A and B are shown apart, each in its own frame.
Chain A
Amino acid sequence: MIEEIASTADGNIILNLGPQHPATHGVLHLVITINGETIQKVEPHLGYIHRSIEKMCESLTYRQFIYVTSRMDYLSSHINNHACALCVEKGLQIEIPSRSQVIRVLMDELTRIASHELWWGAMAMDLGAFTPFFHAFREREAINDIMEETCGARLTMNYMVPGGVMQDIHPNFQRRVKEFITLFKSKVGEYNELVTGNIIFQNRMKGVGNLSAADAISFGCTGPTARGSGVSCDIRKLYPYEIYEKLDFEEILESDGDSFARYMVRVREMSQSISIIEQLIDNIPEGDFQAKTKAVLKLPKGEFYQRVETARGDFGVYIVSEGGTTPYRIKYRSPGFSNLSALDHMARGSKLGDLVAMMGTLDLVIPDIDR
Chain B
Amino acid sequence: MTIEALKEKITALFPAVTFEEGGQWPTVLVEPTDWHRMAGILRQNDALYFDYLFCLTCIDWKTHLTMVYHLDSTNYRHNLVVKVNLLKMNPAIETVSDIWQTANFHEREVYEMFGVNFLHHPDLRLLILPDGWEGKHPLLKDFEDPINMIKL
Residues of chain A at the chain B interface (Cβ within 8 Å): 46-47, 50, 52, 54-56, 58-60, 90, 215, 217-220, 222, 231-233, 238, 302-305, 307, 314, 316, 318, 320, 328-329, 331, 333, 337-338, 340-341, 345, 370
Known: A304-B24, A318-B55, A333-B55. A220 touches B100 (CB 8 A): yes
Closest 6 CB pairs of A and B: A220-B102, A47-B128, A331-B57, A341-B105, A59-B152, A333-B55
The CA of A218 and the CA of B74, in the complex, are separated in Å by: 11
B51 contacts chain A at the CB level, 8 A cutoff: yes
Known: A314-B54, A337-B105, A341-B101. A55 touches B138 (CB 8 A): yes
The CA of A20 and the CA of B5, in the complex, are separated in Å by: 52
Q: Is the interface of A mostly helix, strand, loop or mixed?
A: mixed
Residues of chain B at the chain A interface (Cβ within 8 Å): 22-25, 51-55, 57, 59-60, 68, 70, 74, 77, 100-102, 104-106, 127-130, 138-139, 143, 150-152
Q: Could you tell me if A318 and B102 are in contact, using CB atoms closer than 8 angstroms?
A: no
Known: A54-B139, A215-B101, A302-B23. A331 touches B55 (CB 8 A): yes
Q: Could you tell me if A56 and B54 are in contact, using CB atoms closer than 8 angstroms?
A: no
Give chain B residues whose Cβ lies under 8 Å from the Cβ of A305. Answer: 24-25, 55, 70
Q: Could you tell me if A341 and B23 are in contact, using CB atoms closer than 8 angstroms?
A: no
Q: Could you tell me if B150 and A55 are in contact, using CB atoms closer than 8 angstroms?
A: yes
Interface contacts beyond A218-B51, A341-B101: sample of 10 additional A-B pairs, CB < 8 Å, sorted by A: A47-B127, A50-B129, A55-B138, A56-B150, A215-B101, A231-B74, A238-B77, A303-B23, A333-B54, A341-B104
Query: B35: shortest Cβ distance to chain A, in Å?
Result: 18
Query: B55: shortest Cβ distance to chain A, in Å?
Result: 4
Q: Could you tell me if B74 and A219 are in contact, using CB atoms closer than 8 angstroms?
A: no
Give chain A residues whose Cβ lies under 8 Å from the Cβ of B51. Answer: 217-218
